[in-house]
Amino acid sequence: MKVAMLSPISWRTPPRNYGPWELVASVLTEALVRKGIDVTLFATGDSKTAGKLEWVCPSPFSEANNMDAKVWECLHISLLMEQAAKFDIIHNHFDYLPLTYSQLIKTPMVTTIHGFSSEKIVPVYKKYNALTDYISISDADRNPQLRYTGTIYHGIDSSIFEFTPLKKDYLLFYGRIHPDKGTHTAIEISKRCGIPLKIAGPIHDQRYYQKDIAPLVDGKKIVYLGNLGQAAGRKVLGMAKALLHPIHFDEPFGLSVAESMMCGTPVIAFNRGSMPELVIDGKTGFLVRNITECIYAVKKLDQITAMDCRQFALSKFSIETMMDDYIHVYEEILDRSR
C-alpha cells in the first residue's frame, strides 16, 4: 500500500511549537512507516519524517512575512495531485481545498475533518459528500449534513508524553491565546482559587491578549511562558496540578486534553463540544458548566489519581489504536474501489 499523507503547511510537520493538524499528520505518518507501509509525506521542506518527503514550500508560511499563503497552498496541493497516480490512497489533512481535485484523479481520498472553521466551508464538503470518505475526530464534531466513514480519535505518543505522578502547585492553561479558548476565564479561576496559573501557547488574538490578558500577567501568580516548544510543553503539562480548559466554543477535539491525561494530569473542562468524549467526569478530571463549578472541582482534585488519567489515555488515545483504525479505513476504501 502506497499512502500520500497531505499535511498543512502553516507550520512544519511535526511542528516546532504549535500546530495540531501537522502534529497529527506526523504522528500517523511515523506510525505507518514503522508498520512497514510506504508513506510519502507532503509537507514543508523543513519537515522531518522517516518516510519519503515531498515539498514545494520550503518553510511554513506562518513563520514568514513575505509568503502569500494561498499561493503556496495551491502549489503544495497541486504537487501531490499531479502525481496522484503513484499512490493507492491519499490521506488529506488539509481541510476542504483538496476535495476540489478529488474527481479529477482516480486515486481515492480520505479526509480527516479537523474541525469546521466556519459554516461557510460546509458547501464544499456537501458537494463531495457521496464521492469521498470523511473521518470525524469526535462524534460531537459531526455535521448532520455529511456522511462519515468513522470517528477516529487522535493518537498520543506515550513514550514522549511521560507519566508524571508528582505534581507541582500550579494550574495550567495550554493552548491558543484566544477568547474562544477562555484564557481570561482560566486567570479568573486561578485567582479565585488562590493557586498560581501558568499560561503556554501562541497568541492568536493580539488585541485580546493586550487588553484582557497581558495586564493580569504579573510573572508570579499569573505567568505567561510563551509559545513553548514540544519538549518544554510536555514538561510543564506533566507537572501541573491540573489543566484548565474553560472553552467558550464547541471544541472538535482538544489535543492538549488528551496529552494532559497521558502525562497523568487531570483536566477540568467546560462541558462543551467533544469534552464528554475525552474526560471521564470524576475519574480523569471534571466536566463543569461555569466558573463556580470549576472552582469547586479544583478543591476536589485530590479525588483524581494520576494513574487513572494515564490508563484512560492509553486505552483511548494510543498511537496504535489510531493507526489500526486508519489502516482499516484505507483497506475498506481500497476494497470498495476495486
Residue 165, pLDDT > 90, answer yes
Quote the pLDDT of residue 302. Answer: 95
Burial class (CB in 10 A: 0-12, 13-18, 19+), 332: middle
DSSP-based three-state secondary structure for 176: coil
Short-list 106, 91, 101, 84, CA closest to 152: 91
| The three grid cell numbers given for residue 242, joined into one nine-digit string | 491540573
Contact 5, 13 (CB under 8 A): no
**Maximum Cα–Cα distance for the chain, whole Å?**
62
Residue 66, pLDDT > 90, answer no
User: What are the distances in angstroms from CA 144 to CA 120, 125, 250, 283?
Assistant: 15, 12, 15, 31
Quote the pLDDT of residue 240. Answer: 98
Residue 8, pLDDT > 90, answer yes
DSSP-based three-state secondary structure for 264: coil
| The three grid cell numbers given for residue 87, joined into one nine-digit string | 499512490
Where residue 18 falls among pLDDT bands split at 50, 70, 90? confident
What is d(CA 216, CA 132) in angstroms, rounded to the nearest whole number?
48
Quote the pLDDT of residue 29. Answer: 98
pLDDT for 102-130, tens place per residue? 999 999 999 999 999 889 999 999 999 99
DSSP-based three-state secondary structure for 281: strand
Domains and CATH numbers, the chain: 2-155+318-337 (3.40.50.2000), 171-316 (3.40.50.2000)
Contact 94, 8 (CB under 8 A): yes
Short-list 125, 111, 236, 225, CA closest to 171: 236
User: Percent of the chain having pLDDT more than 90?
Assistant: 94
Burial class (CB in 10 A: 0-12, 13-18, 19+), 225: middle
| Torsional class of 118: left (φ above 0), alpha (ψ -120 to 50), beta (otherwise) | beta
pLDDT for 217-270, tens place per residue? 999 999 999 999 989 999 999 999 999 999 999 999 999 999 999 999 999 999
pTM (2 d.p.): 0.92
pLDDT for 200-215, tens place per residue? 999 999 999 999 999 9
Ranges of H-type helices in 116-254: 122-127, 183-193, 206-208, 230-239
Short-list 124, 82, 87, 126, CA closest to 104: 82
